[in-house]
């Protein structure tokens, strides 16, 4: 049984937690832009945490259910509706055969996640179904295609009802200005004290130039003493500083190597919060050490595992 795609929307992709272990041969990880929202969707349904889901960017996706099941919607509020009733995010929803699920446009945030009980059943390539269109990998057919009208998204039907919601304290407010921790990298000493101070004291704006590869920010320019570097591996969340001094945050579909100096890197959770902001949003940074980043991750993992879900 399956969901049928009536309207693919702006950009809807199948994602799991990513394609790990292949960056040395030029294959990037892919995976959900917002791990926080993705993992909570699977937790709501008691799925394996890496079970495949849909990542819906900007909305306008419409699906028709051909079997009974339960879904969870997390992440951005894209004005989702099931038939004629509202379907708010951060909770589960019962789906009956013949139901229609429609996403409108962003109310708060950019990317919503739709998980189905038991997970979708796609083709796996290199151990993952994560869609990276640039590399022609992932998706339901394994060829890296975004959803298209008429696609069938298979899942195992179920009649059990799951009624659960994420605790309010675990739901981010995507309308807030962001202040994100940056772990300094080994090229950090090649930025002068003045350049570092400017970077950490400035508010940057998310530009129009954002996608799953990277987020370009605009604001006070910062410059490295290095004209360039020999191309090297790039971590998720790395902040490159090109010649114009405007930061670029590398995201899930980033290239695996690059030659711009890097002032540091966001944590995965921090980059996920940035991924929910659109053009015009404000973001600023503070220096964070690895220990703080690890502590925040451990707190998140503990909440994900042990938090008591609310009745939906």
Enclosing domain of residue 213: 178-303
pTM to 2 decimal places = 0.96
308 in a domain, yes or no? no
43 with 189, same domain?
no
What would the two tokens of residue 145 be? 């295609």
288 in a domain, yes or no? yes
Task: Give the per-residue pLDDT at 136.
Answer: 94
73 in a domain, yes or no? yes
100 with 195, same domain?
no
Query: In this structure, what CATH number is given to the domain that contains residue 282?
Result: 2.40.100.10
Alpha carbons 62 and 173: distance in angstroms, whole number:
25
Average pLDDT over residues 223-247: 92
Task: Give the per-residue pLDDT at 120.
Answer: 96
Average pLDDT over residues 175-183: 95
As for how many domains the chain has, the answer is 2
Give exposure, 193-223, as e/b (b: 16+ Cβ within 10 Å).
eebbebbeebebebeeebebebbbbebeebb
Alpha carbons 1 and 290: distance in angstroms, whole number:
45
45 with 83, same domain?
yes
Task: Give the per-residue pLDDT at 159.
Answer: 79
103 with 214, same domain?
no
Average pLDDT over residues 24-38: 96
What percentage of the chain carries pLDDT values higher than 70? 100
Task: Give the per-residue pLDDT at 312.
Answer: 79
Task: Give the per-residue pLDDT at 256.
Answer: 92
Average pLDDT over residues 270-290: 97
32 in a domain, yes or no? yes
């Amino acid at each position: 049984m399956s969901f049928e795609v009536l309207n693919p929307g702006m950009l809807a992709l199948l994602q799991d937690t990513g394609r790990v272990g292949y960056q040395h041969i030029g294959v990037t990880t892919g995976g959900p832009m917002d791990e926080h929202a993705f993992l909570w969707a699977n937790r709501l349904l008691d799925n394996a945490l890496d079970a495949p889901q849909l990542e819906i960017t900007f909305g306008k996706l419409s699906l028709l259910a051909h079997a009974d099941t339960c879904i969870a919607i997390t992440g951005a509020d894209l004005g989702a509706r099931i038939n004629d009733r509202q379907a708010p995010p951060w909770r589960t929803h019962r789906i009956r055969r013949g139901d229609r699920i429609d996403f409108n446009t962003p109310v708060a945030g950019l990317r919503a996640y739709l998980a189905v009980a038991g997970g979708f059943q796609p083709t796996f390539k290199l151990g993952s179904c994560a869609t990276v269109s640039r590399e022609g990998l992932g998706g339901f057919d394994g060829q890296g295609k975004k959803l298209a009208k008429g696609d069938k998204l298979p899942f195992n039907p179920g009649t059990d009802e799951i009624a659960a919601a994420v605790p309010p304290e675990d739901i981010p407010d995507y309308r807030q200005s962001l202040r994100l921790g940056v772990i300094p990298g080994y090229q950090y000493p090649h930025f002068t004290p003045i350049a570092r101070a400017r970077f950490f004291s400035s508010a940057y704006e998310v530009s129009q130039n954002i996608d799953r590869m990277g987020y370009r920010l605009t604001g006070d320019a910062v410059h490295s003493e290095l004209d360039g570097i020999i191309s090297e591996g790039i971590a998720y969340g790395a902040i490159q500083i090109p010649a114009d001094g405007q930061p670029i945050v590398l995201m899930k579909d980033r290239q695996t190597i690059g030659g711009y100096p890097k002032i540091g890197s966001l944590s995965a959770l921090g980059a996920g919060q940035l991924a929910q902001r659109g053009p015009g949003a404000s973001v600023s940074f503070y220096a964070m050490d690895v220990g703080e980043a690890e502590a925040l991750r451990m707190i998140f993992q503990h909440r994900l595992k042990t938090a008591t879900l609310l009745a939906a």
